[in-house]
Structure 1
Amino acid sequence: MTEVVLGIAIIVALVVGMSVGLLALRRRLVPDTGLDVTVNDGLHLVARRGDGLLSVLHGAGVAIPAACGGSGTCGLCRVTVTGEGAGEPQATERGVLSPRERRAHVRLACQTRLRGDCAVEVPDDILSAGGGVLGTVSSTRMLAPLIREIVVELPPEQPTEFRAGDFMQITAPPYALDFATLDFDPAFSEAWEIAGWRRMRLASVAEVTRAYSLASRPEDSGHAVFNIRLAVPPAGREHELPPGLVSSWLFSLRAGDRIALSGPFGEFHAQPTGREMVFVGGGVGMAPLRAMIHQELAQGTSRRIRYFFGARSAADLFYSDEFTALAGRHDSFDWTPALSDPAPGDRWGGATGFVHEILFAEMRAHPAPEECEYYLCGPPAMISAVLATLDRLGVEPEAIFYDDFGA
């Protein structure tokens, strides 16, 4: 017995000694000196080798957007990075960034690990955004089983002239949440019971920030309107994957609660060309498209506007009455909702099928679909299908503008 204990002690001592030796050697060969990250030729940030670029920027108050929790799927945290200190692009980045972007030194900040000094270029509006503001929730309402509209009253000092298509970043504080305590519209209670979402619980131990598109209309001046989709785990994987940290917190908010925001930011905007505009959306891709359409119509545009929106069933279709009313008031605006899998009780008499199929059927009869301008927003699968459809219609990529929710 004594020999066994002695042997174990020797092995432990050897392992500890080797670990200490390796750490000492690493410190000598790879000094833990501060790295210089220069932002827009003016701001100098100190980082450590191995730090994530997104964390370094966020730690300095540079509000680079991110919607996917650092998984590299949303593509919002694009920055231009020069210098060998950023290393080579990761495989994740090559799946999101185009060859042209990679040649121009565009990187995903969330996937970039620092190895040395580097220079970073970010949009000026992000650099000047500062630390954000505190707003107050004016109202919330459920639009669909997993989508909630949140209207936030902004402080008087916050500029309220948003450009349609912009987004803001929302920061959730640490919290604990029992989903059974959430307020529900009775119309969606059955869906929650069947899916078992009421049984979910979640705790977040740190602040988390995500980007959300604005659904604000001109008449919403002084407020920021968001369409929030609760990110729930796929069926059967509830014990493996947690629900979304920020979307869950947002679903728990009530009127009067405070909320931290920064922005607005964005590059997904209507182009001032005069060409016919075709909008295609799905899910919470509704938000920026709704803002753009309302802005164009409020300005008295002479452009023809068509809006195709896809949902699974009538329960997932929202703002329909609003757009039907707009179509009734504006001869230049057409609204085409499509359901891919209407329920028997929906008594649906409108377009049935995937939204890209309805788009193809309608635009194939158009005299010149290639002369239109296309604005897309929604889940990645929808974006891919619509892009393929537009290619079939002969539409050049330069006439297509889109924002996908890769999260």
Structure 2
Amino acid sequence: MTEVLLGSFVIVALVVGLAVALVGLRRRLIPASGLDVAVNGALHLAARRGDTLLDVLQDGGILIPAACGGSGTCGLCRVTVPGPGAGDPQATERGVLSPRDRRAHIRLACQARLRGDCAVEVPEDALGAQGGFLGTVTSARMLAPLIREIVVDLPADHASAFEAGAFMQITAPPFGLDFATLDLPPAFRDDWEIAGWRSMRVASETEVTRAYSLASRPEDAGRAVFVIRLAVPPPGQEHELPPGLCSSWLFAVQPGEEIQLSGPFGDFHVQPNDREMVFVGGGVGMAPLRAMIHQELARGSTRRIRYFYGARSAADLFYAGEFATLAAAHPNFSWTPALSDPAPGDRWTGATGFIHEQLRAEMRDHPAPEECEYYLCGPPVMVSAVLATLDRLGVEPGSIFYDDFGA
């Protein structure tokens, strides 16, 4: 027995001693301070070895967006790191960044750990973005079975002139929600009962931050308009998988409540030229495209503008009356909604099929589809199908712009 105890003591002592030695050696070989991070060639931030670029930048007041908690999955915290100061790209980055991105020295700031002095280039909007402020919900309404519009009054000292296509981050506090308590509009109650969404429950013990595109129009000055899709689990797995945390909380907020925001961010904007514009959207990809189209028409733009929007059934089609009104008032704008699976009661007489099919049917008769600019936002499968369609139409990648953080 004595030998066992003595042996255990020796092993523990060796492990502790080795750990202490390694820590001491690391401190000698890798000093904990003295690094300089040069931002956009002008601002300099102090850092330590092992810090992530995201932490250094955010601690320095540069609001690089990040909505995945530093796991490297959302792809929002993209920065350019031309030198070796942040080491080699991690495996998580290779799963998000394209070979073209990596050749351009694009990194995910949350995955880039400092090894030496570092130069980094960040988007200009990150330098001017505001974070950690509160807005007040002024209205909330459901537009479709899983889509809710939320309008937020911004504080008086916050800049409210957004460039269309931008997004903001919303932070949900710890919460618990029983979906049976939601007050649903009569038009959508049957959909929820049939799908089993009313039986869902969700809870979060920590804050959760997600990015949402702004759907704000010029007349919404002083307010931020969001179109939120509730992320629900696949059919039959409502009790095995939880719904989206932030979107669940947003489906329960009511007018008068406060929301924590940061931003705006993003570089998905209308290009300043006279080329014809073609917008293609689906789901809550509606949000930035709506903002862009309203911005252009309000400016008095004479550019030809086409908008193709795909939905499953009439219940999923929203803002349709708004765009029909715009098309009637502006000869240079056309609106083409298409339903992929219209319900018998929809009495739908418009276009049917997937939206990339409708796009191909119209643009193949265009005299020069390759001369147009294309703006895409929607579910990843839709964006992929549209990109393949545009490739067959001879459109170069440089004429295609899309929001790649999901919709």
Kept in 1, the 8 Å contact 2:374–2:400? The answer is yes
1:65 aligns with 2:61: no
**Following the alignment from structure 1 to structure 2, what is the Cα–Cα distance between the partners of residues 197 and 284?**
19
Aligned residue for 2:110, secondary structure, equals: helix
Q: TM-score, normalised by structure 2?
A: 0.90
Alignment correspondent of 1:44: 45
Deviation, structure 1 residue 261 = 1.5
**Structure 2 counterpart of 1:259, one-letter code:** I
Distance 1:256 1:44, change over 3 A: same
Q: 2:24 aligns with which of 16, 19, 28?
A: 28
**Following the alignment from structure 1 to structure 2, what is the Cα–Cα distance between the partners of residues 189 and 178?**
16
184-193 or 113-122, larger mean C-alpha shift: 113-122
Aligned residue for 2:234, secondary structure, equals: coil
Deviation, structure 1 residue 209 = 2.2
Kept in 2, the 8 Å contact 1:378–1:405? The answer is no
Deviation, structure 1 residue 13 = 4.8
1:230 aligns with 2:226: no
Distance 1:406 1:17, change over 3 A: farther
**Structure 1 counterpart of 2:45, one-letter code:** H
**Following the alignment from structure 2 to structure 1, what is the Cα–Cα distance between the partners of residues 47 and 107?**
19
Kept in 2, the 8 Å contact 1:39–1:122? The answer is no
What are the superposed Cα offsets for residues 137-164 of structure 1, whole Å, 9 maximum, x if unpaired? 0000011111110001112221221111
**Following the alignment from structure 1 to structure 2, what is the Cα–Cα distance between the partners of residues 156 and 174?**
27
What are the superposed Cα offsets for residues 82-135 of structure 1, whole Å, 9 maximum, x if unpaired? 444422212332343233331232101233344555333222331232434221
1:80 aligns with 2:76: no
Kept in 1, the 8 Å contact 2:65–2:77? The answer is yes
**Following the alignment from structure 2 to structure 1, what is the Cα–Cα distance between the partners of residues 190 and 255?**
24
299-308 or 235-244, larger mean C-alpha shift: 235-244
Aligned residue for 2:290, secondary structure, equals: helix
What are the superposed Cα offsets for residues 248-272 of structure 1, whole Å, 9 maximum, x if unpaired? 2211210001112222222111112
**Following the alignment from structure 2 to structure 1, what is the Cα–Cα distance between the partners of residues 347 and 318?**
16
Alignment correspondent of 2:211: 211
What are the superposed Cα offsets for residues 321-359 of structure 1, whole Å, 9 maximum, x if unpaired? 111111111111111111112222222221111111110
1:302 aligns with 2:302: yes
Distance 1:10 1:137, change over 3 A: farther
Kept in 2, the 8 Å contact 1:227–1:287? The answer is yes
What are the superposed Cα offsets for residues 358-393 of structure 1, whole Å, 9 maximum, x if unpaired? 100110111111111111111221111111100100
Kept in 1, the 8 Å contact 2:202–2:242? The answer is yes
Kept in 1, the 8 Å contact 2:76–2:405? The answer is no
Distance 1:235 1:60, change over 3 A: farther
Alignment correspondent of 1:118: 118
Kept in 2, the 8 Å contact 1:281–1:376? The answer is yes
63-72 or 326-335, larger mean C-alpha shift: 63-72
| Unaligned segments of structure 1, at least 5 residues | none
**Following the alignment from structure 2 to structure 1, what is the Cα–Cα distance between the partners of residues 304 and 170?**
34
1:238-249 matched pairs, under 5 angstroms: 238=238, 241-249=241-249
Kept in 1, the 8 Å contact 2:282–2:379? The answer is yes
**Following the alignment from structure 1 to structure 2, what is the Cα–Cα distance between the partners of residues 197 and 152?**
26
Kept in 2, the 8 Å contact 1:150–1:225? The answer is yes
**Following the alignment from structure 2 to structure 1, what is the Cα–Cα distance between the partners of residues 292 and 312?**
23
Alignment correspondent of 2:355: 355
**Following the alignment from structure 1 to structure 2, what is the Cα–Cα distance between the partners of residues 11 and 312?**
69
Q: TM-score, normalised by structure 1?
A: 0.90
| Unaligned segments of structure 2, at least 5 residues | none
Alignment correspondent of 1:184: 184
Distance 1:322 1:130, change over 3 A: closer
Kept in 2, the 8 Å contact 1:38–1:120? The answer is yes
Kept in 1, the 8 Å contact 2:308–2:336? The answer is yes
**Following the alignment from structure 2 to structure 1, what is the Cα–Cα distance between the partners of residues 324 and 184?**
26
1:208-357 matched pairs, under 5 angstroms: 208-238=208-238, 241-357=241-357
Aligned residue for 2:157, secondary structure, equals: coil
Calculate the aligned-residue CA RMSD, in Å. Answer: 2.5
Question: What is the number of residues matched between the two proteins?
Answer: 402
**Following the alignment from structure 1 to structure 2, what is the Cα–Cα distance between the partners of residues 346 and 14?**
78
Distance 1:291 1:406, change over 3 A: closer
